[in-house]
A and B are shown apart, each in its own frame.
Chain A
Amino acid sequence: MSDKVSYGSVSLVRQGDYRFYSFTMPSDVLAETCFVVNRDEDPIEGFQRELDKKRAAEIANYIDSGLGTIPSSIVLSAQEDSDFYYDSKRKSVSFLSINKAFLIIDGQHRVYGFKLAKTALRIPVVVYENLSKRDESRLFIDINSKQKGVPTELLLDIKKMAEYENDTEQYLRELFDTFSTENDSVLYNRLSASKREKGKITRSVFNTAVKPLVKVFGNKNSDEIYEIFNSYLIAFNEGVLVPHKLEEQAFNTTVFKAISGFFPIITARVKDRFGAIYSVDNYYEFTEITGQRIKPAKLATPTNAYKPIVDHLEESLKQEFTL
């Protein structure tokens, strides 16, 4: 028979027909007494997503870094076997410390992270009791469909402030900011730092498109890369997009990724013919040929896949060989 544990400073909260208890409990107790059922394990009762172990490990590392706090509550459903009891006079709850006392409605990765972490914390929890399986699954759906994640763009934007950037992120941010401000930038006013805007490239799309190029950029600083990449984008616009009246497509997410993906291919050709002189004119030598041979529909009506467009651009660039 397991011992009963008790915690005080409990708030009873009533919302509509529901009542739940809010309090804190030690992370190790939480980890030992909570469980999840996912649909693979139990297709009838399970509703949780499969656990992403990598994500849980990241949370554990975050807690062990000593700086991490996770202030949002874990939402639990007390199971019948837990013998969960609320003492209204003492404002306390008690329950049996067994390994299936609480079903996790929201926060399975955080709980698993607490299990992996070396550091012990007190964790805010919200506990419902007497929920049916239907109520538990509805609550899960409500929580996971109505809460909205922070947009990636905003997270990227505030990472600098939080001093969380790695070297690549810092490099990409500097490049993005230069493209946002310089007077000769082909992307001036067509980039959006912290939110999605129609006709603009977001920071996350920019990073996704340009990150694979960082290894091609070598040791050049972001100002040098700005000069080169901006020259390429201008030449691409003049050689490929302008002749087909497709200038606006440069700011379509898929097309921008494709244009970026084409950069190493065409730059290799520029370097081969002109040496490391990456001027607009030198790029134009090749973008003009590409523009003459492309099928405009590939850029005008792109799907979500950018690699086929890169392949098409590369194919269009290839000179026909004749003796």
Chain B
Amino acid sequence: MIPEIKIIHQLSLNEIFEVKLLTESDLKAWVANGHYLVSECLEPSTKNRATEFELQFQQSEILHASLANDCNRFAQAAIESIWSVGKINKLPKSTGWAAVQMYYSAFFAAHALLRIYGLACSQLEGDYVDKVFQIASVTELDGGVSSIENGFYFSSILNNKIKFNKLKDSHADTWLSFSKLLIWLIDNISNTTGLGKHKSDALTLISNIKAALHMSGAAKGNWPSQIRNKVNYQHTHGVWYPYKGALHDHDIVLRNTEWLKSPVSFDLGGKNNDILTLYNVSNSIVSLMYHLMNYGYERAGKVSLPLSKGIFRLINQIRAA
């Protein structure tokens, strides 16, 4: 394992890799089960509805298992997506859907990476937030609000509390949350234990990914999302027939197993070739996710039931096929 991964792993929520519980609970189910108290009085936002809340829990085991299950689900989706990227014999120059698949594999990997660090972007439907509101009302911490808004929420764990804040856009705000995670890693790498050179290399890796996400003025770190939209909705970059103006090397673009390499092996420099860069950025994010999960899983003695029955079984199946 490359030393950069060992450094970056030190800042993770290691309990994710120690889950031995056989449960299918995910973060939404954990919220719905109501094994917590509301720790801060709700405050009204728009239309007298709350858009943030903080929950206090005593037993962290189920919450960690729920996050591990979520993490595993997204990791599998990322691997499935990236593994299905390939050349179609009758359309050897077609890279339109491949680009979208690469984007989604990176997007799912970003979700998985957030959870490795105890963070999450999750869709909470009405029934879930109603449970929180019920508990707030019973304990007289509803603050006079009429309800809690359902929707897309960012959550973060700190000690025995988990805080939820409502987001707006499921893609742009996921990338923003991921970008904030990268900034947090950059700020905290100096607090890890290791050789200065390894810390410096880890810093370079994370900084390069962060810089790539913010290319072309993408303030929310959603450059991949912007390229995906252009490719998908404006058919730019020559990735669709008749491939007009295509600048990328199809053979390079259509390699689909690059993510097994180390995350430092991808050129994230840009060089005016958006499609090639999108592939490299996506590969590096999936690679970062895979190597962090692999290291955490092995380091903990391969005890994690969600991961052994999930992503690592999937990878073994695909390799054996």
Known: A183-B14, A184-B10, A189-B299. A230 touches B193 (CB 8 A): yes
CB distance from A194 to the nearest CB of B (A): 16
Known interface pairs A188-B299, A189-B300, A189-B301; A281-B12 also in contact (CB < 8 Å): no
Q: Does B195 contact A (CB under 8 A)?
A: yes
Query: Which residues of chain B from 8 to 23 have a CB within 8 Å of any chain A CB?
Result: 9-12, 14
Q: List chain B residues, Cβ under 8 A from A230.
A: 193
Instruction: Evaluate whether A280 and B194 lie within 8 angstroms (CB atoms) in the complex, with A183-B12, A183-B14, A184-B10 already known.
Output: yes
What does the 1/0 interface line of A234-272 toward B look like (CB < 8 Å)?
A: 110010000000000000000000000000000000000
Closest chain A residue to B192, Cβ basis: A184
A284 an interface residue at 8 Å Cβ cutoff? yes
- Chain A stretch 208-240: residues in CB contact (< 8 A) with chain B: 227, 230-231, 234-235, 238
Q: How far is the CA of A183 from the CA of B11 in the complex (A)?
A: 7
Binary interface profile of B, 167-206, with partner A (CB < 8 Å = 1, else 0)? 0000000000000000000000000111110000000000
Q: Determine the distance from Cα of A184 to Cα of B8 in the docked complex, in whole angstroms.
A: 10
> How far does the Cβ of B37 sit from chain A's closest Cβ, in whole Å?
27
Interface residues on A, range: 10 to 19
Whole-angstrom CA separation of A304 from B195 in the bound complex: 31
| Interface contact B192-A281, CB-CB below 8 Å | no
Q: Is the CB of B10 within 8 A of A183?
A: yes
CA gap between A284 and B12 in the complex, in Å: 25
Name the residue of chain A whose CB is nearest to the CB of B198.
Answer: A238
Chain A contacts of B9 at CB under 8 A? Answer: 183
Query: Which of A183, A227, A230 has its CB near the most chain B CB atoms (within 10 A)?
Result: A183
B-side binding surface: helix, strand, loop or mixed? loop
Given contacts A183-B12, A183-B14, contact A280 B193 (CB under 8 A): yes
Min distance, Cβ A284 to any Cβ of chain B, angstroms: 6
Chain B residue nearest in CB terms to A283: B195
A211 smallest CB distance to B (angstroms):
24
B308 to chain A, nearest CB (A): 15
Residues from chain B with a CB closer than 8 A to the CB of A189 are: 299-301
Whether B194 and A234, one on each chain, are in contact in the complex, defined by CB atoms closer than 8 angstroms, is yes
Q: Please, what's the 1-or-0 string for B250-268, where 1 marks a CB less than 8 Å from any CB in chain A?
A: 0000000000000000000
In angstroms, Cα B12 to Cα A188, docked, is 14
Whether B10 lies near A281 (C-beta < 8 A) is: no
Is the pair B301, A184 in contact by a Cβ cutoff of 8 Å?
Answer: no
Contact flag A281-B300 (CB < 8 Å), given A183-B10, A184-B10:
no
Question: Contacting B195 at CB < 8 Å: which of A183, A184, A227, A238?
Answer: A238
Whether B193 pairs with A281 at a CB distance below 8 angstroms is: no
Are A234 and B193 CB-contacts (below 8 A) given A183-B12, A183-B14, A184-B10?
A: yes
- Which of B11, B14, B195, B301 has the most C-beta atoms of chain A within 10 angstroms of its own C-beta? B195
Q: Looking across the interface, which residue of chain B has its beta carbon closest to that of A188?
A: B299
| Chain A residues closer than 8 Å to B14, beta-carbon distance | 183
User: CA of A281 to CA of B241 in the docked complex: distance in angstroms?
Assistant: 55
Give A284 to B300 CA distance when docked, in angstroms. 26
How distant is the Cα of A235 from the Cα of B193 in the complex, in angstroms?
Answer: 10
Pairs A–B under 8 Å by Cβ, sample size 24: A183-B9, A183-B10, A183-B11, A183-B12, A183-B14, A184-B10, A184-B192, A184-B193, A184-B194, A188-B299, A189-B299, A189-B300, A189-B301, A230-B193, A231-B193, A234-B193, A235-B195, A238-B3, A238-B195, A280-B193, A280-B194, A280-B196, A281-B196, A284-B195
Binding site for B on A (CB under 8 A): 183-184, 188-189, 227, 230-231, 234-235, 238, 280-281, 284
State the B residues within 8 Å of A (CB).
Answer: 3, 9-12, 14, 192-196, 299-301
Q: Which 8 A-B pairs have the closest CB atoms?
A: A184-B193, A184-B10, A281-B196, A183-B14, A189-B301, A183-B10, A280-B195, A189-B300
Known contacts A188-B300, A238-B3; 8 additional CB pairs below 8 A are A183-B11, A184-B10, A184-B193, A227-B193, A230-B193, A234-B194, A280-B195, A281-B196
